[in-house]
Amino acid sequence: MMKKNKDIEVLIEETTKNKNGETVTVYEMKIGKKTIGTVEATANNKFEVYYDQELISTVKNLDEGFEEIIRQWNLFQ
């Protein structure tokens, strides 16, 4: 018997933070009330991806960043 996958509600919240004296846009990916990762815009039009508050990669766009977080999340579930 196969286990049915449950739908998981994922929420993206856009916030800002001060990093090295600059205001940076931060996208938080949440499952329920738990933030599972963040994607931060960098000065050179790239995005830094953080999982569990650790920098795991730098990507070209937001979608790649979110995919990277989901990939990490799936590994550890």
| pLDDT at position 43 | 77
Q: Using alpha carbons only, what angle is made at residue 57 by residues 24 and 18, rounded to the nearest 5 degrees?
A: 15
Per-residue pLDDT, averaged over 36-55, amounts to 93
Distance CA 26, CA 38 (A): 7
Per-residue pLDDT, averaged over 49-61, amounts to 95
Banded pLDDT at 20 (limits 50, 70, 90): confident
Query: Does residue 42 have a pLDDT over 80?
Result: yes
Banded pLDDT at 9 (limits 50, 70, 90): confident
Query: Does residue 64 have a pLDDT over 80?
Result: yes
The DSSP symbol for 62 reads H
Please report, for the chain, the start and end positions of each structural domain, with discontinuous segments joined by +: 26-75
What's the one-letter identity of residue 48? E
